[in-house]
């Protein structure tokens, strides 16, 4: 995969934490940042896909045990008097 250099401006405290975190994992800051950014983007894509699947499942959900027709009225259900 072709790589391209970029310049980032980070707060000094964050940059120091990045250095320490990368060193703890024995990787370069670039590799650590690349991994973190990739994970964030893939998680976002996965989140969108899970949302689409959930909506599709709700639209095509199986029966809920009442058959094709509801056999009662709202008034009967709540025993309402007019």
The tens place of each residue's pLDDT in the chain, 82 residues long, gives: 899 999 989 999 999 999 999 999 999 999 999 999 998 888 887 888 888 888 888 887 776 666 667 777 888 888 766 5
Q: How many structural domains compose the chain? A: 1
Asked whether residue 81 is assigned to any structural domain, the reply reads no
- Residue 41 belongs to domain spanning: 12-60
Burial-class residue 21 by CB neighbours within 10 Å (0-12, 13-18, 19+): middle
Asked whether residue 72 is assigned to any structural domain, the reply reads no
Q: Is 11 helix (H, G, I), strand (E, B) or coil?
A: coil
């Amino acid at each position: 995969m072709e790589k391209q250099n970029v310049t980032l401006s980070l707060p000094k405290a964050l940059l120091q934490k990045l250095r320490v975190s990368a060193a703890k994992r024995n990787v370069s800051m670039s590799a650590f940042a690349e991994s973190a950014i990739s994970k964030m983007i893939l998680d976002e894509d996965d989140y969108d896909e899970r949302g689409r699947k959930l909506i599709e499942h709700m639209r095509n959900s199986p029966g809920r045990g009442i058959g094709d027709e509801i056999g009662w009225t709202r008034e009967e259900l709540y025993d309402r008097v007019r």
